[in-house]
Chain A
Amino acid sequence: MIEFAFPWLSLAVVAPLVAAALLLRRPLPERVRQISLVASTVSFLAASAAWTEMLARAATSAADRWDIGSLLGGAPLLSIDALSAPLLPLVALLFVLTVLATLRRKLQNFASAGLLISEGILLATFACREPWPIIALLAAGTIPPWIELRLNHKPLRIFTLHMGVFVALLVAGQGLLSWDSHSVLAVGLLMAAVLVRSGIAPVHAWLPDLFHNASFGTALLFVTPMVGAYATMRLVLPIAPEWVLRGITLLSVLTAIYAAGMALVQIRARRMFSYLFLSHSSLVFVGLETATTIGLTGALCAWVAIALSMTGFGITLRSIEARMGRIRLDAFLGLYEQIPRLAVLFLITGLAAIGFPGTAGFVGGELLVEGAVQIYPLMGVAVVVVAALNGIAVLRAYFRIFTGARRPVTVDLRLRPPERVAVLALIFLMIGGGLYPQPAVMQLYNAASNLVNQRAAYFGVPVPAPTLDPHHHGAITPSIESAPFSPKGSPPARTQQTLARS
């Protein structure tokens, strides 16, 4: 592990928190937007610098020089590796662009402070590799949306119940694991916790509820970084036995199909968005739980692509909502003539979300199908069906919002330049990533390989060498790592804590 020349990680985490503190002192309304934007931009630049320095120095992991954990003689509190290095700037970017695309009147002091606190917590979570600090940060991350719901006098019970269960399961699982490092029950509890946080059916009721009751920006940024997937990779995947993963894969696929079907019958745009997102995020879980290098690489690629595209899709939806109020999908709103460019942006982000060829999601989808088919051939079919259904849902939403008889409106519906910049930036990233995916795929492939090696080390099983198949091109290679790591070998020699540090 190397030490950064500058404390990039601390800067990335602290900048939004300091800005949040400033906002709580109630500055002038016109300063709120500036402060939020500057803080999130600084955070993004610091996170990008950390990734760049790590790549430039060809390191496998890196931490700040004066990290609190290191100073206390333990493992660094904030550090990044091949997995978290690209995710950190990704998450920071989502916040920058969401702030950028938020109308000034919507950026109130407290809402902005909450957003920035969420960003700080989330970045700290993604820069953390130790189980207990991750758990603490995951728990802390649920508080800002909860406070927002409470301040706005919205129904709280569903969110509180689910997030309470999530935190309780995490604490119980990790506590049990600290006591008995081989406890299957502990793994089950941790897995159940991340399933709740990720909204896998049947514990997904909080997701549409949050989108319905919270502000769109808060809900969007609470779900699109997919912190549940990160928790899975850090806390569960390295130690979960194969049969647990297989069961979860099945559950994830069923959720993906179910959510895709539900997205098709929704008549509120926000609920449609929540189910569409759930369908996509469940596919990421399908890839993660294959625990093969290809499947994991696919899941990570899909993760990045979905985070970008669904955020873009959400921002465009929110831009329309900011002008028209809550959108219903049971009528044709006829907005195309007023905002043709927003219609195009909506369509492109939506298509990117379903992994349309030429966008970043396509490669992720291909790899994901490959990984899924290695485990169960029918899984690949299910993933394809889900993509088809989601495609229908996206175009249905496009038609309902933008087509139909033109309606007279009294307000200017056109996008403001910052909103345009935000969505265009996401689109260029999605299309750029789709046209030239190799560097990103390689980076994520390294992260996936590390994880597979961790599992191999934990279960004492050597990493199987891929069988040579020189003619193979494209999606499916049944020969590679089709024998995942089973817990049949010698008992694990290392604890989860050491694995996380390794």
Chain B
Amino acid sequence: MSQDVLTTILGLTAVGAPAMLLAIVGLTALLGRPLSERLTARLTQVTVSIGLAASIGVLAVMLTTGSRNVVIDLGNWVALDQQHFHLHVKFIFDRLSVPFAILSFVLIGTIGAFAKNYLHREAGFQRFFLLYGVFLFGMIVASVAGTIETLFFGWELVGLSSALLVAYFHQRTGPVVNGQRVWSIYRIADAAFLIAAVTLHHNTGEGDFGVLMGSGPWPEGLAALSSDQALIIGLLLLAAAAGKSALIPFSGWLPRAMEGPTPSSAVFYGALSVHLGTFLLLRVSPILDLSIVLSACVVALGLATAVFAVIAARVQTDVKSSLAFASLTQVGIITAEIGLGFRYVALVHIIGHACLRTLQLVRSPTLLQDYRALENAIGGHLSLEADPLLRGLPDTWRERLYRFGLQRGYFDALIDNVIAAPFVGFFQWCNRQELRWAEILSGVRPEVPTEAPPTPPPPEPALVTEEHR
């Protein structure tokens, strides 16, 4: 068997295994014949193991042969040859995608095994694993995508499954409102992503990553864009990444996402989903080299997010929110690293951080027990003294920082008051005018109430993790 055939088989298996899981779990659910818990868990275990083995196989082949860029081209999904329009399906296995795919398989597989017991006999067990399948498939497709369309496909699946998992405990309105908020932010990020794609196509006539990633293997490529084009497209992609990775001003969704079950919080928002934005920046990193302004923006946004998250993390009253902001701190630093050009550092940072955070979040329901174990081990109480960083600050500043952190930087309020409220207010006004117009035309007062009652404010994110599970 030639090397090309082997890598193609392995690569397709890596993508096909999660697709198989999703197809089986999805079809059986759709046809009203859901699998048993045991079978679902076993199927998950098998498909994740196959996918992981295949990914490692690709890595082994690449290491053996010294190949740095394996492309699996599945050809055109849609082709209008006379118009030279093609939607290409292409997967790339390189130094970025292979570690990310392996990381995804390892963490998602671990969480699958954890969730099997954690959600045992939970009413939403099947729903969780269906969304788990969607997420896994989305992550793998996004990781190894070779075209913008393919990446967008995975990106959307990740977004949808994340929003629905935040709203997993849907009998309470809090998680649902938070899920809706996460989805709204994701849609804004998606729009920025697509507009970037449109701009790229308009400027270059191509949708292939070749333009963004450059001619050489990652990360050494040279993107075929002018500095101005790189700035515009890069800023749009930065906005997309900010939405997906909860960078400011979109950071409000991350602690809210912790309303979901602990397994999904751990792997999705603590480890993988939150890094997808930084993965996008890494994937298109050659264009950052073309514009110093763009790189500066990336660094500034990353550092600002990190500083904000450090402050916010220190005033959280529950462990999952605290971990969410701790996670955000690292994501901010990773973003800054990407902007500064430390691509390998950022990649290693992502992998290390994702593994650590998954462990911490999975342990979060047993935090008190862990504390007790620690205190028993050291034979005394853990220190509750003020943070040494803040000790030297005047009281007024400490109070301001405290408020800033407690209000989560006022970013949610900013988005609500500056964007959402005027938008909704305008269309509610239009709705009233339309109803009035209909009344004039028909001579009948419509039965439709003119205004929606105010939506109840979303409750605070996960306060007691054990209760929310």
Question: A residues touching B (Cβ–Cβ < 8 Å)?
Answer: 155, 157-158, 161, 205, 208-209, 212, 258, 261-262, 264-268, 271, 293-294, 297, 329-330, 332, 334, 336-337, 340-341, 344-345, 348, 351, 356-358, 363, 366-367, 369-370, 373, 377, 380-381, 384-385, 387-389, 391-392, 395-396, 399, 402-406, 420, 424, 427, 437-438, 441-442, 445, 466, 468-480
Contacts and interface: CB of A to CB of B under 8 A. Distances in A.
B441 A266 contact: no
Given A341-B32, A427-B30, 6 more contacts: A158-B442, A357-B152, A373-B201, A377-B198, A442-B80, A472-B85
A404 B78 contact: no
B427 A477 contact: no
20 contacts: A157-B441, A205-B437, A209-B442, A261-B426, A261-B427, A267-B448, A271-B448, A332-B176, A336-B170, A340-B127, A366-B87, A366-B149, A373-B201, A380-B202, A392-B183, A404-B176, A405-B171, A472-B206, A472-B207, A477-B84
Contact of B170 (A157, A267, A402): A402
Contact of A380 (B176, B179, B198, B443): B198
Contacts of B139: none
Contacts of A477: 83-85, 201, 205
A438 B87 CA distance: 10
A265 B427 contact: yes
Contacts of B68: none
Contacts of B198: 369, 373, 377, 380-381, 384, 475-476
A387 B156 CA distance: 13
Nearest to A264: B427
A486 B453 CA distance: 51
Interface residues of B, number: 73
A380 B198 CA distance: 7
Interface in B188-239: 188, 190-191, 194-195, 197-202, 205-208
B434 interface: yes
A473 B430 contact: no
A399 B179 contact: yes
B183 A474 contact: no
Contacts of B176: 332, 399, 403-404
B167 A403 contact: yes
B9 interface: no
B357 interface: no
A265 B428 contact: yes
Contacts of A267: 448-449, 452
A474 B145 CA distance: 14
B84 A261 contact: no
A237 to B, nearest CB: 18
A248 to B, nearest CB: 21
Given A161-B441, A474-B148, A469 B428 contact: no
A466 B167 CA distance: 48
Interface of B: 29-32, 76-80, 82-88, 123, 127, 147-149, 152-153, 156-157, 160, 163, 167, 170-173, 176, 179-180, 183-184, 187-188, 190-191, 194-195, 197-202, 205-208, 423-424, 426-428, 430-431, 434, 437-438, 441-444, 446-449, 452-453
B83 to A, nearest CB: 5
Nearest to A475: B201
Contacts of B167: 399, 403
Question: Across chains A and B, which 10 residue pairs bring their CB atoms closest together, nearest first?
Answer: A474-B207, A476-B201, A403-B170, A388-B191, A357-B153, A388-B187, A261-B427, A380-B198, A155-B442, A384-B194
Nearest to A390: B187
A330 B85 contact: no
A268 B450 CA distance: 10
Most buried by B among A212, A258, A357, A373: A357
B86 A480 contact: no
B197 A474 contact: yes
Contacts of A424: 30-31
B171 A334 contact: yes
A178 B103 CA distance: 69
B448 A268 contact: yes
Contacts of B77: 437-438
B152 to A, nearest CB: 6
B444 A438 contact: no
A235 to B, nearest CB: 26
A344 B171 contact: no
B441 A158 contact: yes
Contacts of A294: 80, 83, 85
A4 to B, nearest CB: 29
Nearest to A154: B444
Contacts of B447: 212
Contact of B156 (A337, A356, A476): A356
A478 to B, nearest CB: 6
